[in-house]
Amino acid sequence: MSIESQNVTDYPNTNTIFMVWKLNDHPELKDTFRQLCALVLNLNNSVANRFPDSRASGVMGIGCEGWKKLELPTPMPKELVNFEEIKGGKHTAVSTPGDLHFHLRADNKSLIFDMAIEISRLLSPVAESILEISGFKYWDARSILGFVDGAENPHGEDRDYFAKIGEEDLQYKGGSYLFVQKYLHNMDAWKGLSTEEQEKVIGRSKENDIEMSDAVKPSNSHIALANIEGENGEELKIVRDNMPFGRPSSNEFGTYFIAYSSTFSTTKKMLTNMFVGDPVGNYDRILDFSTAMTGTLFFVPTRNMLDEFSG
């Protein structure tokens, strides 16, 4: 049987709902989870059949504690752990709980709205919703900070290579490590910078999304620290599907950072660069304007595994 992954490499689209749930100690928990796995498969098949051009999909991830509560197969995926905070001299990548994560996306918000309703209806008796965010495409895929987001994303076959587990963990081949953070932006401070100063923080031009040359790009710019290499100089990437969100009347503006990767160590290296600095102390300047409010690691099983779990 061929391995079929969940839709972790789909490209970002117009509307997204992110949900994080905490599982309760409930006698019907395992039975509900079996139904949930079947529901996720059903929802994806349904939207693919009924609305083939909608680019709609739902991806479910399972956290370390959730895996234990559900007594799923052991050994667990090699890098599935409870994320430990990464504390730098000034900023911290915080660690927050989460047993299940749902990433629902579509051009038509009605589709993911109905998907979220069905998932919530099933889970509510046995779990608590601890985070729900509705993201949207802002102009030409820009964050609310005004810069294009995800410019370094891999394309084509590279998306599979960097997002999905390969031969290094055969039991979980085709799965993916999912790391998420909710960032809030200090827009008053950000708008206090000139466009030129903002570009130095990011490392790219604001209007045309052109990366600065190494001779000009500050060493503490976001691009300089978020782009990482392996020990032998090989390129290391993650597949981002970040989405902006906001409530203007509450002056809340943010970005939901979401990364799929074949190894969590890649994402962790990037986070360490950003929060601790490379060298130490040379942290990512964007963190002076963007605060990480959450930080949770999940594992995304393949569709084959969801089918097995549903049995």
Give the integer Cα–Cα distance in Å for 103 and 60. 7
231 pLDDT band, cuts 50/70/90, is confident
φ, ψ of residue 300 in degrees (nearest 5): -100, 110
Mean pLDDT of the chain: 97
Contact 129, 117 (CB under 8 A): no
pLDDT of residue 176: 98
pLDDT digits (tens, 9 = 90+) for 245-291: 999 999 999 999 999 999 999 999 999 999 999 999 999 999 999 99
Place of tokens 């509900």: 32
Task: Find the range with the poorest average confidence among 75-79, 97-101, 149-153.
Answer: 149-153
What percent of the chain has a predicted confidence (pLDDT) above 70?
Answer: 100
pLDDT at 233 exceeding the cut of 90: no
Q: Tell me the whole-structure pTM to 2 decimals.
A: 0.97
pLDDT digits (tens, 9 = 90+) for 49-72: 999 999 999 999 999 999 999 999
pLDDT of residue 306: 98
Which 3 state secondary structure label does DSSP give 76? coil
Average the pLDDT over 35-56 and give the result.
96
Contact 256, 135 (CB under 8 A): yes
Give the integer Cα–Cα distance in Å for 270 and 237. 9
Catalytically active residues are: 149
pLDDT digits (tens, 9 = 90+) for 89-145: 999 999 999 999 999 999 999 999 999 999 999 999 999 999 999 999 999 999 999
Average the pLDDT over 288-308 and give the result.
98
pLDDT of residue 228: 92
Output the DSSP codes for 157-179. Answer: HHHHHHHS--GGGGGGTT-EEEE
Angle at 135 between CA 248 and CA 142, to 5 degrees: 80
pLDDT at 1 exceeding the cut of 80: no
pLDDT digits (tens, 9 = 90+) for 174-217: 999 999 999 999 999 999 999 999 999 999 999 999 999 999 99
